[in-house]
């Protein structure tokens, strides 16, 4: 009993997510239904061609028969061609919509989920896996016309000779069993094939992007070896899929040969007893061949669906995960101080990053966060914007719990600049205005670029603000990309500007000038991470993190007295601090 319940639960777990995928988008019914109707018409024309073929084989070479045969054959080809066009168009529409569903689901994932998956796996969900859903739907719709075709072909065959037809009709369940068993194998093979594809895609997208680092470290031979291992894993998965396909083809070929033997033996007996003409076996195989063709067309969708279930498991896992609800929660009230109270956070529940952090980020002030690697500085910034959720403790903004506010309101108050912020392919201008709540005018764009120290190098480029930056900003230097990212953050006009070592890739003079501009009050509140103690000294308020805890917080002068870590950082940079 328990085993039966487990089997039923496993089946529901497999079929439920698969079928729910098709409820997430409008199916292009018109194209598929039109393809079904044309498929039924094509069946009638194909059977008419079969009738005329038998008459030709009997020597009825009359003009009406020959012309009819030619015209019906041409019409059949046109109908099938038009059916394929409609079916293909419906399939492409479905692929378009499935990719849209998957893309929206990916963008709705919490940041921790995105980081855990990695970009390559998620890319594969959109580009490769989504196409399988459309193929399965196409086959399911076409199976309707295939069922009609099988019934009509069986009727024709039975009308020609009922006794011999009985042999083939009884053997149809055998064909169904063959496809059922090979369909189960197809599920396993497709799952392994797409897992191997995702692994290979992830490997090459990551390692090709790091090609200069590979060469700089002299690791070409090792990377070649690991790349070949990823290729071989895909090869083995493809080979398994091909093997199972050959098994299915071989079994169905054996089935058709068995039918041929049964027709030959049964037909010979009927001819000897005078119940069939001497040409009867040849004429009968004209119809039995159609029956076998439509059997295959009807049963193939099951294999396609099982294979699709295997390849869509990852997509269905993504779709089943809870999404961020940007508009859910209470509106965020007026800006004010941000307070963290006993905040704890870990990525896996075992190794804590933050261990009871309590501190205040005062509104309208410049706050610096310092600490060693892994002390939780960047994690704090991600928690403030709702990218991560604390395991326990509270984060409030002007007394309002951030866990209860709308994410779009919350993130609309912040601008965030990373140490190496990527750009998107397009022009410098497009990258600058990306994320702006309202389209800024030219003067605002130039003012932000000047504040970030970017205007001078932009105007020296051949096309100025309309210069293409290339994929991920590859046509610009790291420092140039960073200055554009800072200018973009300013154009958002945030209440809180978060800088995660945003000036680290700039030269000392440029970094100082940019920081001066950012700290001049144009943004009410600035929170920045820095290892440069000269930059830290310019803050109104400093938070020192050590091993996931707040060692001390206060003004730079206060920390010089209260924080051993602060004094240590200053001493290492030969910066004198009052004690």
pLDDT at 13: 56
Give the separation between CA 496 and CA 106, rounded to whole angstroms. 27
pLDDT at 576: 66
Residue reference for tokens 């470290």: 217
**What CATH architecture is 338-572?**
3-Layer(aba) Sandwich (3.40)
Domain ranges of the chain: 9-320, 338-572
185-211 confidence digits (pLDDT tens): 767 777 777 778 777 877 887 777 777
Confidence of residue 165 (pLDDT cuts 50, 70, 90): confident
Residue reference for tokens 């804590």: 352
Residue among 300, 308, 320, 301 at smallest CA distance from 131: 308
Which of 82-91, 286-295, 362-371 shows the lowest mean pLDDT across its residues?
286-295
Residue 221: exposure state from Cβ atoms within 10 A (0-12, 13-18, ≥19): exposed
Which of 290-299, 395-404, 524-533, 536-545 shows the lowest mean pLDDT across its residues?
290-299
Q: Is 393 helix (H, G, I), strand (E, B) or coil?
A: strand
Which residue would you say has higher pLDDT here, 38 or 134? 38
Q: What is the residue-averaged pLDDT of the chain?
A: 84
Q: What is the pTM of this model?
A: 0.76
206-221 confidence digits (pLDDT tens): 777 777 777 777 778 8
Query: Are the C-beta atoms of 25 and 97 separated by less than 8 Å?
Result: yes
Strand partners, 543: 369, 553
Residue among 525, 504, 529 at smallest CA distance from 414: 525
Specify the length of the chain in residues: 579
Q: Tell the CATH topology of 9-320.
A: ABC transporter transmembrane region fold (1.20.1560)
What backbone phi and psi angles, to 5 degrees, belong to 341? -125, 110
CA 508 to chain CA mean position, Å = 41
175-189, 254-268, 340-354 — most confident range: 340-354
């Amino acid at each position: 009993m328990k085993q039966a319940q487990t089997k039923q639960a496993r089946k529901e777990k497999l079929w439920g997510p698969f079928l729910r995928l098709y409820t997430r988008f409008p199916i292009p019914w018109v194209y598929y239904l039109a393809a079904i109707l044309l498929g039924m018409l094509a069946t009638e024309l194909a059977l008419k061609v079969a009738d005329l073929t038998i008459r030709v084989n009997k020597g009825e070479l009359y003009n009406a028969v020959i012309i009819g045969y030619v015209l019906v054959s041409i019409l059949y080809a046109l109908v099938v061609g038009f059916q394929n066009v409609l079916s293909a168009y419906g399939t492409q529409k479905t692929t378009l919509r499935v990719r849209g569903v998957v893309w929206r689901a990916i963008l709705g994932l919490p940041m921790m989920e995105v980081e855990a998956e990695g970009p390559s796996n998620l890319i594969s969900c959109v580009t490769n896996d989504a196409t399988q859903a459309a193929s399965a739907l196409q086959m399911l719709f076409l199976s309707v016309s295939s069922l009609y075709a099988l019934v009509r072909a069986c009727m024709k065959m039975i009308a020609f000779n009922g006794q011999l037809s009985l042999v083939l009709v009884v053997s149809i369940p055998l064909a169904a069993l063959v496809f059922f068993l090979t369909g189960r194998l197809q599920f396993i093979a497709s799952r392994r094939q797409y897992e191997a594809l995702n692994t290979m895609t992830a490997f090459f997208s990551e390692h090709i992007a790091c090609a200069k680092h590979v060469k700089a470290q002299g690791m070409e031979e090792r990377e070649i070896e690991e790349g070949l291992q990823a290729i071989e894993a895909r090869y083995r998965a493809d080979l398994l899929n091909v093997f199972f396909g050959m098994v299915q083809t071989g079994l169905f070929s054996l089935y058709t040969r068995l039918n041929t033997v049964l027709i030959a033996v049964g037909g010979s007996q009927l001819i000897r007893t005078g119940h069939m003409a001497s040409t009867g076996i040849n004429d009968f195989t004209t119809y039995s061949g159609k029956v076998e063709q439509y059997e295959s067309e009807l049963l193939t969708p099951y294999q396609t669906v099982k294979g699709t279930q295997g390849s869509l498991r990852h997509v269905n896992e993504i779709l089943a995960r809870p999404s961020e609800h940007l508009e859910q929660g209470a509106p965020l009230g007026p800006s004010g101080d941000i307070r963290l109270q006993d905040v704890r956070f870990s990525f896996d529940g075992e190794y804590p990053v933050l261990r009871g952090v309590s501190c205040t980020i005062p509104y309208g002030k410049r706050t610096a966060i310092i600490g060693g690697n892994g002390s939780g500085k960047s994690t704090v910034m991600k928690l403030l914007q709702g990218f991560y959720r604390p395991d326990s403790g509270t984060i409030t903004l002007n007394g309002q719990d951030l866990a209860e506010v709308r994410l779009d309101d919350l993130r609309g108050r912040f601008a965030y600049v990373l140490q190496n912020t990527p750009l998107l392919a397009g022009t410098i201008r497009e990258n600058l205005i990306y994320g702006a709540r309202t389209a800024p005018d030219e003067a605002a764009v130039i003012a932000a670029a000047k504040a970030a120290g970017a205007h001078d190098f932009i105007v020296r480029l051949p096309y100025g603000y309309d210069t293409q930056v290339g994929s991920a900003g590859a046509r610009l230097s790291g420092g140039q990309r960073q200055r554009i990212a800072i200018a973009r953050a300013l154009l958002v006009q945030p209440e809180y500007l978060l800088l995660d070592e945003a000036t680290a890739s700039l030269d000392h003079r440029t970094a100082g000038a940019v920081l001066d501009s950012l700290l001049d009050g144009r943004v009410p509140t600035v929170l920045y991470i820095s290892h440069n103690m000269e930059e830290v000294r310019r803050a109104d308020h400093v938070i020192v993190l050590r091993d996931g805890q707040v060692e001390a917080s206060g003004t730079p002068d206060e920390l010089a007295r209260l924080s051993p870590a602060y004094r240590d950082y200053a001493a290492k940079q030969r910066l004198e601090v009052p004690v």
